[in-house]
Amino acid sequence: MMAAMICLGSLGCVAALLLAMAARRFAVTIDPRQVALMEVLAGANCGACGFPGCDAYARALVAGTAKPDLCRPGGAETLKRIAAILGVEVTERPPQIAVMYCQGGLQQARPKYDYQGLQDCRAAQKLARGPKLCPAGCLGLGSCVQKCPFGALSIDARGLAMVDRGRCTGCGLCVAICPRQVLALAPATESIHVLCNNRESAARVKSYCNVGCLGCRLCVRTAPESFVMDSFLAQVRYGRGQPAVMAEAMERCPHHCILNLDEQGNDQILPTPPSARERSTP
Amino acid sequence: MICRSFPGGTHPPGHKTATAHAPSLICPLPAELVIPLAQHVGAPALPCVTAGQQVARGQVVGRADGFVSVPVHASTSGLITAVEPRPHPCGAELPAVVLQPDGEDAWAEEYQKQSFHVLSVEAMLERIREAGVVGMGGAAFPTHVKLDPPQGKSIDTVIINAVECEPWLTADRRVLLEQMEKVFTGLEILKEVSGAGHAYIGLEDNQPDVAALLAPHCQKRDIGLAVLPTRYPQGAERQLIYAVTGRRVPARGLPMDVGVLVQNVGTIAALTDAVTRGRPLIERMVTISGPGVIRPQNLRVRIGTPVAHLLKQCGVTEEPAMVILGGPMMGVAQHTQAIPVVRGTSGVLAFRRQDVPITTAGPCVRCGRCVAACPMRLQPTFIADYARRDELDLAERFAARNCIECGSCSFICPANIPLVQSIRYAKGAILARRRRM
């Protein structure tokens, strides 16, 4: 009994000594700034910065090979703290949010054919340029939903992707994956959008969609400062909009494609936006 | 002769009897022909006519743009009403020449029928190219490119592909039966142009009548007649070459790498017309069949004839729920009947609502049938899985790019997983990524 205890005890001591020596000898030196940066970064490993995960971005930041303003999910707060750690001056970029520019759901937009196959928008887009007659509308198969690391996207009852504006961090991954570019980043402060992505003429739009922008220019005539035409598609001039006149244009839009995503009580708005940090991993 | 057997493959029901034994008919001209400028692999032809212009049958309406490109011709005489984007079998709207036939059907020029022996190889290649001859089995690869291998490659064996392994289709069979002389002349031309010493005709054993008819002719002309066991995809180029010659085309290589040239029966007939009579490719054999068609038949159709016109000729029981251009295994379902017959269209199949079950993909049950069925010895279920998860590196490591998209795996899958679509998607994504890098 005693012999066994002494044996094991001394063995343990020797092993501990060896481990302690090994820890000294083979210690990996990490820049303390990298550890600090890891604390600061959003921790979602979303890849929006272009690096495979937050760790890689932190390493690149310390090495000086990456710009400090690439962590979109972190926002202004993270940017400020990164700048403090690295001791550099940065200018804050206005926060952005993804907007889904389409209202043509299953009831509103006519299908081109019945699609049965891989539930992926990019795969569907390859078959005769997508199962909807509209060449620019949301296909609703949810490639963006799968890609979003923050759970900010979902497919709603209309069969359209829906951005949860509270959870969206503006990382832009959904924008990159959408084969029809129907998702785009817009300033987070803007709430009024023309929810259509179709640049075709009124005759064509009318033939397949009840809610698409016709290019009638009514909004531009009502509020020339706030709207601008791109081919047959009206767009809000972000940063220059005058809400009072825009409200009138919204009233006059024949297909009601100008929406105020806040006031309309649209289901794209959550009443109490939870912070993005809380849902760090999907 | 002894034929080898390629690995994998499936046995889809043939459905060929409806159209196999009736002689082909000439399809009447429609009110409007839509002749796409992109009917071949390679650069689309450039339009050289304008709206309002009168053209003759066989006149060039689009000229070739580069080496891997062929001209496009007017299928009949008439008035060009427009040159504009029109629905194309690929699904998009692509530039096409719209032609209103005048009923005269007058040729632009007619060469005297002459023996090909007086022509040089270059002159024959030039005629094949000018006539717009492309592979008519479906791929539509310009034939003059195939016949003109780059330096260091030589062709010693020519194989005529009369296998027609796709269910329903019998167009190649009818060409072989009705234009046998042309096919044999074409084979002579092919041997002359490519310098090949051996020639074979590949056929499936579900056509014993054709085999019996061909046997004495082949013996007389020293042509090997390869009657192959009926199995899909026996007509795929690699599988046919292996079955007939025992040579394996390297992965992502070409048949010319092993000294073989494969041509479809329809291509040979068109090529003979091009060389001996200077006639462009403006007509082809098309099988119109399927459960939704009242009078299934083979029609000799002018290029550019809308599918709606063909279905009207043969009669449909109801508004078809699905129209497929090509065979059911590799053909493409179309969303409109306004699309025209192009040079690569071998069949038009119409299906009723009850023939098109609505399927939903289930989870993979790990039965391994797709692996057993793959003629390229791939593992379709893994590649499809990686495609779904965007794991392109893994998909590439599992040789996604070697897939010939024959559809055997999707056909056999008990869980209805869209395997081919997933693999195709992976192939496209891998190529796109390569181009970016």
Q: Is the pLDDT of residue B64 over 50?
A: yes
The mean pLDDT of A112-116, rounded to a whole number, is: 89
Local confidence band at B1 (pLDDT 50, 70, 90 cut-offs): low
Query: What is the per-residue pLDDT across A193-248, written as a single tens digit (0 to 9) for each?
Result: 999 999 999 999 999 999 999 999 999 999 999 999 999 999 999 988 888 888 88
Residue A262: its pLDDT value, please?
63
User: Three-state secondary structure along A34-77?
Assistant: HHHHHHHCCCCCCCCCCCCCHHHHHHHHHHCCCCCCCCCCCHHH
Local confidence band at A109 (pLDDT 50, 70, 90 cut-offs): very high
- The pair phi, psi for residue A152, each rounded to 5°, is -90, -5
Q: Are A145 and A162 in contact (CB under 8 A)?
A: no
The mean pLDDT of B246-260, rounded to a whole number, is: 91
- Using DSSP, state whether B170 is helix, strand or coil: coil
Cα nearest neighbour of A130 on chain B: B91
The answer to whether residue B47 sits within a structural domain is no
Across the interface, whether the CB atoms of B425 and A123 are under 8 A apart is answered: yes
User: Which residues are CB-contacts of B335 (< 8 A; sequence separation ≥ 6)?
Assistant: A112, A113, A128, B91
| Residue A41 in tokens | 């970064």
Q: Is the pLDDT of residue B65 over 90?
A: no
- The pair phi, psi for residue B160, each rounded to 5°, is -95, 125
Across the interface, whether the CB atoms of B425 and A113 are under 8 A apart is answered: no
Interface probe with A: pick from B322, B405, B425, most Cβ of A within 10 Å: B425
B124 and B228 inside one domain: yes
The answer to whether residue A192 sits within a structural domain is yes
The answer to whether residue B331 sits within a structural domain is no
The mean pLDDT of B6-27, rounded to a whole number, is: 92
Q: Are B426 and B381 in contact (CB under 8 A)?
A: no
Local confidence band at B318 (pLDDT 50, 70, 90 cut-offs): confident
Across the interface, whether the CB atoms of B92 and A120 are under 8 A apart is answered: no
Burial (CB < 10 A; 0-12, 13-18, 19+), residue A87, is: exposed
Burial (CB < 10 A; 0-12, 13-18, 19+), residue A251, is: exposed
Report the alpha-carbon angle B226-B232-B238, nearest 5: 60
Across the interface, whether the CB atoms of A116 and B358 are under 8 A apart is answered: yes
A188 and A262 inside one domain: yes
Tokens 């020029």 sit on residue: B109
The answer to whether residue A279 sits within a structural domain is no
Residue A279: its pLDDT value, please?
39
Residues in chain A: 282
B2 touches chain A (CB under 8 A): no
* Cα Dmax for chain B: 63
Instruction: Give the integer Cα–Cα distance in Å for A56 and A47.
Output: 10
Cα nearest neighbour of A127 on chain B: B91
A111 and A43 inside one domain: no
A105 and A188 inside one domain: yes
Is pLDDT larger for residue B274 or for residue B251? B274
Q: How far is B224 from chain A (nearest CA, A)?
A: 41
Instruction: Give the integer Cα–Cα distance in Å for B164 and B186.
Output: 19
H helices present in B118-207, as ranges: 121-130, 143-147, 171-178, 180-194
Across the interface, whether the CB atoms of A126 and B428 are under 8 A apart is answered: yes
The answer to whether residue B173 sits within a structural domain is yes
Across the interface, whether the CB atoms of A123 and B360 are under 8 A apart is answered: no
Residue B2: its pLDDT value, please?
62
Instruction: Give the integer Cα–Cα distance in Å for A30 and A63.
Output: 12
Which amino acid, A62? V
- In B410-429, the residues whose Cβ lies within 8 Å of chain A are 418, 421-422, 424-425, 428-429
- Domain membership of residue B391 as a residue range: 369-436
The answer to whether residue B322 sits within a structural domain is no
A190 and A53 inside one domain: no
The mean pLDDT of B309-324, rounded to a whole number, is: 92
Residue A267: its pLDDT value, please?
46
Residue A268: its pLDDT value, please?
43
The mean pLDDT of B66-90, rounded to a whole number, is: 93
B273 and B373 inside one domain: no
Torsion of CA A204, A210, A212, A215, to 10 degrees: 60
Q: How far is A161 from chain B (nearest CA, A)?
A: 19
The mean pLDDT of B220-247, rounded to a whole number, is: 92
Q: How far is B90 from chain A (nearest CA, A)?
A: 7
Within 8 A of B360 by CB-CB distance, chain A residues are 116
The answer to whether residue A189 sits within a structural domain is yes
Local confidence band at A275 (pLDDT 50, 70, 90 cut-offs): very low
Which residues are registered as beta bridge partners of A96?
A187
Q: How far is A113 from chain B (nearest CA, A)?
A: 6
Across the interface, whether the CB atoms of B425 and A118 are under 8 A apart is answered: yes
Which residues are registered as beta bridge partners of B201?
B160, B225
Interface probe with B: pick from A118, A145, A147, most Cβ of B within 10 Å: A118
The mean pLDDT of B248-271, rounded to a whole number, is: 92
A114 and A193 inside one domain: yes
Q: Are A51 and A41 in contact (CB under 8 A)?
A: no
Residue A271: its pLDDT value, please?
37
The answer to whether residue B264 sits within a structural domain is yes
Query: Domain with B197 in it: what CATH number?
Result: 3.40.50.11540
Cα nearest neighbour of A122 on chain B: B425
User: Under the phi-then-psi rule, with left for phi > 0, alpha for psi from -120 to 50, and beta for the rest, what region is B183?
Assistant: alpha
Q: How far is A82 from chain B (nearest CA, A)?
A: 31
Query: What is the per-residue pLDDT across B157-180, written as a single tens digit (0 to 9) for each?
Result: 999 999 999 999 999 999 999 999
Cβ neighbours, 10 Å, residue B367 = 13
* Percentage of chain A exceeding pLDDT 90: 43
Local confidence band at A276 (pLDDT 50, 70, 90 cut-offs): very low
- Using DSSP, state whether B105 is helix, strand or coil: coil
Local confidence band at A266 (pLDDT 50, 70, 90 cut-offs): low
The answer to whether residue A15 sits within a structural domain is no
B338, HSE (Cβ side, Cα atoms, 13 Å): 12
DSSP code per residue over A135-185 = SSS---S-HHHHH-TTS-EEE-TTS-EEE-TTT-----HHHHH-TT--EEE
Across the interface, whether the CB atoms of A129 and B92 are under 8 A apart is answered: yes
Residues in chain B: 437
The answer to whether residue A142 sits within a structural domain is yes
Distance of alpha carbon B165 from the chain centroid: 12
- Domain membership of residue A44 as a residue range: 32-86
The answer to whether residue B220 sits within a structural domain is yes
| Residue A282 in tokens | 């999907």
Query: What is the per-residue pLDDT across B99-151, written as a single tens digit (0 to 9) for each?
Result: 999 988 888 877 777 788 888 889 999 999 999 999 998 788 999 999 888 88
Interface probe with A: pick from B334, B421, B431, most Cβ of A within 10 Å: B421
Q: Is the pLDDT of residue A278 over 50?
A: no
| DSSP for residue B418 | -
Task: Look at residues A167, A247, A225, A233 and name the one whose alpha carbon lies nearest to residue A201.
Answer: A233
Tokens 């209202």 sit on residue: A103
User: What is the tally of structural domains in chain B?
Assistant: 2
Which of B252, B277, B302 lies at the terminal end of a domain, its last residue?
B277
Query: What is the per-residue pLDDT across A27-72, written as a single tens digit (0 to 9) for each?
Result: 888 888 888 888 888 888 888 888 888 989 999 998 888 888 888 8
- Using DSSP, state whether B131 is helix, strand or coil: coil
Report the alpha-carbon angle B160-B273-B141, nearest 5: 55
Query: Domain with A58 in it: what CATH number?
Result: 1.10.15.40
B271 and B377 inside one domain: no
Q: How far is B75 from chain A (nearest CA, A)?
A: 26
The mean pLDDT of B382-409, rounded to a whole number, is: 93
Across the interface, whether the CB atoms of A118 and B421 are under 8 A apart is answered: yes
Which of B277, B293, B313 lies at the terminal end of a domain, its last residue?
B277
The mean pLDDT of B354-371, rounded to a whole number, is: 91
User: What is the tally of structural domains in chain A?
Assistant: 2
The answer to whether residue B209 sits within a structural domain is yes
Across the interface, whether the CB atoms of B92 and A123 are under 8 A apart is answered: no
Q: Is the pLDDT of residue A265 over 80?
A: no
| Residue A193 in tokens | 């959008």
Q: Are B140 and B343 in contact (CB under 8 A)?
A: yes
Across the interface, whether the CB atoms of B91 and A128 are under 8 A apart is answered: yes
Instruction: Give the integer Cα–Cα distance in Å for B200 and B224.
Output: 4
Local confidence band at A277 (pLDDT 50, 70, 90 cut-offs): very low
| Residue A274 in tokens | 């939870």
Instruction: Give the integer Cα–Cα distance in Å for A255 and A215.
Output: 10
Which residues are registered as beta bridge partners of B26?
B300
* Percentage of chain A exceeding pLDDT 70: 93
- pTM for this predicted structure: 0.84
Residue A274: its pLDDT value, please?
39
The mean pLDDT of B317-339, rounded to a whole number, is: 92
Local confidence band at B227 (pLDDT 50, 70, 90 cut-offs): very high
Burial (CB < 10 A; 0-12, 13-18, 19+), residue B295, is: middle
